[in-house]
């Protein structure tokens, strides 16, 4: 990253309008993250249509601020009402709420905010170092290797996403099929349009996202009757512990940041697993083991540094390879493409200013999260008192407008409604929704690279294995799919012995 | 309201059925497509993934039959149906009668269905939020939304 590129990116951020957008996005992200049931992907999906009027750097800054702050925002209700705003903050309830109940909510918010900022900045540094290296490796990738990489990522994300792996794979496959609707660019053939001209352009990612994540949440809330949380809101404030106390936890913060960043880079693992692993590792290595679960600051710091470190980690494969690490980065990838930016080696090679801007914007987003979190902690506790039904009403208004303004087409509103109903039914059937989105976003490059590869190998797919990189990815895919069966066999053998 | 539903068999059957219909349709549509020699067929990827979907759906269906029903907890089915009806009606009416006419009613009805009974607050928030959003989108962001016929907004 050259000095010129850094200076250029700072010029973008010196624009008061761009900064104001990021501050606003940080607040919105924290609020949406703090409201149980919404979360990072919903926040990004609902905001995405409104970024179309912005220039690419402003839009990226806005989305990064929402991404980072919504992950942090989930920890606020975890501490104040014992309900994590996002699944990523589930581990924060273990010690955050007991600490708040003991009258130390302000301290708990202080631990959370600073740990989240540290985790975010740590992963940003890793992103700055790792992403260009990975992008340089990716330049060796032809269509066969890229196809194999996408198959590996998609399978891993679907397989490890949540619950039943078969349902994850089904969701991922369905997402790929959805991405093929419309006119095929290579042959001009109409695919699954059923004579409907409006479908020729295919489905847009935003209405699909709005339906699957936002509207399905409204329908889910309707199914639960009156939505209220039972726990009282603990009064709050913001207080940062002394430097000496932080210094005592330096190993935990670093370890959790490393765990979060590493798991963020891996496809499909995500922030929820990172925060839980960070928490367990901290508990196992702590001399105060017995205090965990009773309001131990180390527990809060461990889970929050890990889940926010995932943000930078997940952006490593997204920016360098164009392969998202989770559903949130899949939306970010979709947003970049919508704004005419294609991630990968070419991005680093041809547009270093934009890459530098992304790095600097991520740093600024993390710092803003710290400032806004510290300044508005009291306000967020009030937001939690808002009736959930009113918030869902806002989601309806945003969903209707957001899905329409994408292409000024009423068909997109219908797509969002149908996706919402499907999302509700799929949730009831325990089908994870993230693989649908990732399949949908990766479907186009997957198809493009497969067809190119077939043309190159004269329609002989077995020749794909002649590439050692592709063969390696296919082998990894096989290992990922077979691992649960191997694990079961090994466990049974150990039991027998 | 408490029901045990075998969601796995329903999912497997529905997934298999949808994939089969799409697969048959893809073969019919591919008959009228001209492919250049050496070019990969345009329906290759969807067909591959549809076969995969059918296979997965069959496995999920069979596993669902073996494992039995799944308790999905108490659900207010009427409430869900009514909320969906409100959103469907809003989508249907948004173009002919305008976003500003439809959205406040849809928001009000949804909020009411979700259990918020303070109607005046609901009315004020529904109308206020929609008007704010409309203003931001059409005036600030220059993104037009469907207008109320004859009113220009």
Asked if A397 has any chain B CB less than 8 Å from its own CB, the reply is yes
Residue B146 lies in a domain: no
- Please identify among residues 362-381 of chain A the ones whose CB lies closer than 8 Å to any CB of chain B: none
Tell me which residue in B39, B80, B94 faces A400 most closely, judged by beta carbons: B94
More confident call, A345 vs A226: A345
Q: Is B51 on the interface with A (CB under 8 A)?
A: no
pLDDT band at A35 (very low <50, low <70, confident <90, very high): confident
Q: So where are chain A's domains?
A: 3-496
* B144 touching A (Cβ < 8 Å): yes
Give the residue-averaged pLDDT of B128-139.
Answer: 92
- Which of B40, B71, B102 finishes a domain? B71
Which chain B residue has the Cα nearest residue A170?
B53
What pLDDT does A345 receive? 75
In chain B, which among 109-128 make CB contacts under 8 A with chain A?
110-116, 121-122, 125-126
Q: Using a CB-CB distance cutoff of 8 angstroms, which residues of chain B are in contact with residue A429?
A: 7-8, 10-11
Length of chain B: 153
- What's the CA gap between A310 and A280, in Å, rounded? 17
pLDDT band at B153 (very low <50, low <70, confident <90, very high): confident
Out of A184, A218, A428, the one facing B83 most closely (by C-beta) is: A218
- The torsion region of residue A401 among left (phi > 0), alpha (psi -120 to 50) and beta comes to alpha
Residues from chain B contacting residue A397 (CB–CB below 8 Å): 103, 106-107, 126, 129-130, 133
| Least Cα separation, residue B149 to chain A (angstroms) | 16
Query: Does one domain contain both B49 and B81?
Result: no
* Test mutation, A17, A186, A223, A433, chain B, max B CBs within 10 A: A223
User: What digits encode the pLDDT tens for the residues A85-131?
Assistant: 777 888 888 898 889 888 888 899 899 999 999 999 999 999 988 88
pLDDT at B1: 43
Of B51, B71, B91, the last residue of a domain is: B71
Q: What is the spatial distance between Cα A469 and Cα A144, in angstroms, rounded to a whole number?
A: 9
Residue of B nearest to A151 (CA): B49
Poorest-confidence range of A187-201, A416-430, A482-496, B100-114?
A: A482-496
CB atoms A177 and B46 under 8 Å:
yes
**Percent of chain A surpassing pLDDT 70:** 95
Half-sphere exposure of A93 (CA within 13 A, CB side): 15
Residues B86 and B52 in one domain: no
pLDDT attached to residue A271: 78
Using a 10 angstrom Cβ sphere, with 0-12 exposed, 13-18 middle and 19 or more buried, the burial of residue A382 is exposed
Contact flag B35-A215 (C-beta cutoff 8 Å):
no
Residue whose C-alpha is closest to residue A264's, from A323, A309, A328, A302? A309
Regarding whether B93 and B35 lie in a shared domain, the answer is no
Max Cα-Cα span within chain B:
68
- Closest-approach residue (CA) in chain A for B8: A429
Tokens of A266: 């891996």
Would residue B101 count as lying in a domain? yes
Pull the structure tokens for residue A478: 């096989």
Q: What confidence tier does B55 reach under pLDDT thresholds 50, 70, 90? A: very high
Same domain? B15 vs B56:
yes
Tell me how crowded residue A13 is: count the other CB atoms within 10 A of its CB: 17
Which of B80, B111, B142 is closest, CB to CB, to A389?
B111
In the prediction, which pLDDT does A161 show?
64
Cβ–Cβ below 8 Å for B137 and A169: no
C-beta separation of A358 from A319 below 8 A? yes
- Minimum mean pLDDT among A271-280, A409-418, A429-438, A462-471: which range? A271-280
The per-residue pLDDT for A232 is 63
Q: Nearest residue of A to residue B53 by CA position?
A: A170
CA atoms lying within 13 Å on the CB side of residue A141: 24
Q: Is the pLDDT of residue A264 over 60?
A: yes
Six-digit token pair at B72? 């999905």
CB contact under 8 A, B50 and A177: yes
Whether B70 sits inside 8 A of A219 (CB atoms) is no
Whether B114 shows a pLDDT value over 90: the answer reads: yes
Comparing CB atoms, the residue among B50, B107, B144 nearest residue A396 is B107
Q: Do B85 and B63 belong to one domain? A: no
Q: Do A390 and B38 touch (CB under 8 A)?
A: no
Instruction: Give the separation between CA A372 and CA A87, rounded to whole angstroms.
Output: 22
What confidence tens digit (pLDDT) does each residue in A133-188 have? 888 887 788 899 999 999 998 888 777 665 678 899 999 999 999 999 999 988 88
**Closest Cα in chain B, distance from residue A313 (Å):** 30
What mean pLDDT do residues B49-67 have?
A: 93
- Residue A194's closest chain B neighbor by CA? B25
One-letter-per-residue 3-state SS of chain A = CCHHHHHHHHHHHHCHHHHHHHHHHHHHHHHHHHCCCCCHHHHHHHHHHHHCCCCHHHHHHHHHHHHHHHHHHCHHHHHHCCCCCCHHHCCHHHHHHHHHHHHHHHHHHHHHHHHHHHHHHHHHHHHHHHHHHHHHHHCCCCHHHHHHHHHHHHHHHHHHCCCCHHHHHHHHHHHHHHHCCEECCCCCCEECCCCCHHHHHCCCHHHHHHHHHHHHHHHHHHHCCCCCCCCCCCCCCCCCCCHHHHHHCHHHHHHHHHHHHHHHHCCCCHHHHHHHHHHHHHHHHCCCHHHCCCCCHHHHHHHHHHHHHHHHHHHHHHHHHCCCCCHHHHHHHHHHHHCCCCCCHHHHHHCHHHHHHHHHHHHHHHHHHHHHHHHHHHHHHHHCCCCHHHHHHHHHHHHHHHHHHCCCCHHHHHHHHHHHHHHHHHHHCCCCCHHHHHHHHHHHHHHHHHHHHHHHCCCCHHHHHHCHHHHHHHHHHHHHHHHHHHHHHHHHHHHHC
Q: Are residues B8 and B23 in the same domain?
A: yes
* Cβ-based burial of A423 (10 A; exposed 0-12, middle 13-18, buried ≥19): buried
B137 part of contact set with chain A, CB < 8 Å: yes
Work out the minimum CA distance from A430 to partner chain B, whole angstroms.
8
pTM: 0.85
Instruction: Count Cβ atoms below 10 Å from residue B85 Cβ, excluding itself.
Output: 12
| Same domain assignment for residues B124 and B90 | yes
Categorize the per-residue pLDDT at A318 as very low, low, confident or very high, splitting at 50, 70 and 90: confident
**Nearest residue, CB atoms, A393 vs list B35, B80, B107:** B107
Percentage of the residues of chain A whose pLDDT score is greater than 90? 35
Pick from B17, B48, B71: which residue ends a domain? B71
Whether A256 contacts A282, CB under 8 Å: yes
Chain A nearest C-alpha distance from B147 (Å) = 12
Q: How far apart are CA A311 and CA A369, in angstroms?
A: 13
Domain count within chain B:
2
Q: How far apart are CA A489 and CA B147, in angstroms?
A: 63
Question: What span, in angstroms and rounded, lies between the C-alpha atoms of A379 and A373?
Answer: 10
pLDDT digits (tens, 9 = 90+) for A175-195: 999 999 999 988 888 999 988
In a domain, B148, yes or no: no
Tokens of A159: 């397989």
So what's the pLDDT on residue A230?
52
- Predicted confidence at residue A234, as pLDDT, reads 62
Residues B85 and B131 in one domain: yes
- What values do phi and psi take at B137, rounded to 5? -75, -45
CA-closest candidate to residue A147, choices A487, A446, A482: A446
**Three-state SS sequence of chain B:** CCCEECHHHHHHHHHHHHHHHHHHHHHHHHCCCCCCCCCCCCCHHHHHHHHHHHHHHHHHHHHHHHHCCEECCCCCHHHHHHHHHHHHHHHHHHHHHCHHHHHHHHHHHHHHHCCCCCHHHHHHHHHHHHHHHHHHHHHHCCCCCCCCCCCCC
Chain B residue with the nearest C-alpha to that of A178: B46
Please report the number of interchain residue pairs, chain A to chain B, with beta-carbon separation below 8 angstroms: 206
Greater confidence (A280 vs A423) lies with: A423
Q: Report the alpha-carbon angle A423-A427-A431, nearest 5.
A: 100
pLDDT in tens, A269-295: 677 788 888 888 888 888 888 888 888
Kindly report the number of other CB atoms within 10 A of residue A238's CB atom: 18
Residue A219 touches partner B, C-beta closer than 8 Å: yes
d(CA A297, nearest CA chain B) in Å: 36
- Is B87 within 8 Å of A222 when comparing Cβ atoms? no
Structural domain containing residue B66: 4-71
pLDDT of residue A93: 86
Average pLDDT over residues A220-247: 76
Give the model's confidence band at B47: pLDDT under 50 very low, under 70 low, under 90 confident, else very high. Answer: very high
CA A210 vs. chain centroid, Å, equals 15
Is residue A327 within 8 Å of residue A314, measured between CB atoms? Answer: no
């Amino acid at each position: 990253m050259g000095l010129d590129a850094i200076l250029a990116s700072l010029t973008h951020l010196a624009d008061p309008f761009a900064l104001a957008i990021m501050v606003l996005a940080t607040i919105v992200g924290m609020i949406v993250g703090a409201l149980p049931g919404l979360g990072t992907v919903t926040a990004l999906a609902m905001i995405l249509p409104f970024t179309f009027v912005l220039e690419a750097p402003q839009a990226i800054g806005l989305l990064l601020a929402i991404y980072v702050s919504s992950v942090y925002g989930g920890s606020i209700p975890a501490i104040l009402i014992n309900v994590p705003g996002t699944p990523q903050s589930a581990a924060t309830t273990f010690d955050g709420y007991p600490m708040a109940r003991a009258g130390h909510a302000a301290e708990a918010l202080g631990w959370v905010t600073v740990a989240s900022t540290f985790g975010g900045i740590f992963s940003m540094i890793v992103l700055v170092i790792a992403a260009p290296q990975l992008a340089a490796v990716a330049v060796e990738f032809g269509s066969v290797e890229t196809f194999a990489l996408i198959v590996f990522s998609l399978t891993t994300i679907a397989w490890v996403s949540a619950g039943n792996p078969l349902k994850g794979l089904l969701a991922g496959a369905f997402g790929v099929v959805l991405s093929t609707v419309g006119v095929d660019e290579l042959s001009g053939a109409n695919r699954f349009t059923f004579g409907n001209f409006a479908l020729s352009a295919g489905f847009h990612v935003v209405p699909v996202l709005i339906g699957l994540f936002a509207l399905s949440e409204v329908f889910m809330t309707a199914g639960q009757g009156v939505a209220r949380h039972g726990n009282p809101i603990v009064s709050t404030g913001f207080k940062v512990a002394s430097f000496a106390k932080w210094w005592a936890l330096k190993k935990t913060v670093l370890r959790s940041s490393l765990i979060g960043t590493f798991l963020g880079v891996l496809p499909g693992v995500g922030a929820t697993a990172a925060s839980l692993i960070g928490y367990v590792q901290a508990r196992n290595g702590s001399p105060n083991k017995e205090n965990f679960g009773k309001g131990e600051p180390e527990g809060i710091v461990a889970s929050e540094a890990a889940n926010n470190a995932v943000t930078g980690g997940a952006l490593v494969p997204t920016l360098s390879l164009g392969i998202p690490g989770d559903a949130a980065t899949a939306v970010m990838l979709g947003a970049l493409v919508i704004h005419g930016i294609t991630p990968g080696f070419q991005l680093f090679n041809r547009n270093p200013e934009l890459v530098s801007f992304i790095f600097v914007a991520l740093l600024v987003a993390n710092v803003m999260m710290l400032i806004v979190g510290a300044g508005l902690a009291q306000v967020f506790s009030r937001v939690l008192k808002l009736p959930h039904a009113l918030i869902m009403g806002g989601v309806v208004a945003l969903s209707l407008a957001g899905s329409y303004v994408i292409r000024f087409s009423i068909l997109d509103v219908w797509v969002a409604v149908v996706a919402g109903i499907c999302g509700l039914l799929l949730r009831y059937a325990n089908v994870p929704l993230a693989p649908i989105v990732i399949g949908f976003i990766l479907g186009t490059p997957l198809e493009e690279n497969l067809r190119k590869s077939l043309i190159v190998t004269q329609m002989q797919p077995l020749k794909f294995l002649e590439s050692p990189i592709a063969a390696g990815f296919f082998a990894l895919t096989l290992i990922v799919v077979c691992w649960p069966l191997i694990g079961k066999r090994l466990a049974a053998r150990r039991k027998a012995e | 309201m408490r029901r045990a539903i075998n969601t796995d068999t329903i999912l497997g059957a529905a997934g298999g059925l949808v994939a089969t219909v799409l697969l048959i349709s893809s073969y019919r549509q591919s008959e009228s497509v001209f492919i250049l020699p050496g070019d990969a067929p345009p329906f290759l990827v969807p067909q591959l993934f549809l076969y995969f979907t059918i296979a997965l759906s069959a496995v999920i269906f069979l596993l669902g039959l073996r494992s039995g029903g799944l308790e999905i907890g108490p659900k207010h089915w009427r409430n869900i149906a009514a909320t969906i009806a409100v959103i469907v009606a809003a989508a249907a009416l948004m173009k002919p009668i305008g976003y500003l006419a439809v959205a406040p009613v849809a928001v009000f009805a949804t909020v009411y269905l979700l259990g918020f009974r303070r109607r005046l607050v609901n009315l004020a928030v529904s109308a206020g939020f929609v008007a704010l959003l409309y203003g931001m989108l059409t005036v600030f962001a220059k993104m037009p939304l469907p207008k109320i016929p004859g009113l220009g907004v």
